[in-house]
């Protein structure tokens, strides 16, 4: 029973450490990002990334880069998942 308790404690310690790292290790303007929680941009910055998943943190996404919604694009227009 104590072996299970120790493994459980280690798991929660690892989980808390990873969550803290994700919150404090965000990428600043111009830094590289992947658009995932592991290399996300700080605050309201957006990851301007190519289809391969590599990119940089920007205030808005320029034309011909991947987007999910209009508000992410500098032009405010996202068509077929690409800023226009």
Provide the mean pLDDT of the chain.
84
pLDDT (0 to 100) of residue 84: 96
Question: Which of 46 and 5 is assigned the larger pLDDT?
Answer: 46
Separation of alpha carbons 79 and 34, rounded Å: 21
Domain coordinates of the chain in residue numbers?
Answer: 2-83
How many C-beta atoms lie closer than 10 Å to residue 31's C-beta? Answer: 15
What integer is the mean pLDDT of 11-15?
77
Separation of alpha carbons 44 and 46, rounded Å: 6
Tell me: pLDDT of 11 over 70: yes
Model pLDDT for residues 22-45, shown as the tens digit of each residue: 556 789 999 998 877 778 899 999
């Amino acid at each position: 029973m104590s072996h299970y308790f120790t493994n459980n404690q280690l798991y929660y310690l690892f989980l808390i450490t990873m969550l803290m790292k994700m919150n404090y290790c965000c990428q600043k303007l111009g830094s590289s990002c992947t658009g995932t929680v592991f290399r996300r941009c700080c605050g309201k910055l957006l990851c301007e990334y190519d289809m391969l998943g590599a990119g940089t943190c920007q205030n808005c996404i320029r034309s011909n880069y991947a987007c999910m919604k209009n508000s992410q694009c500098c032009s405010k227009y996202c068509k077929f998942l690409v800023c226009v």
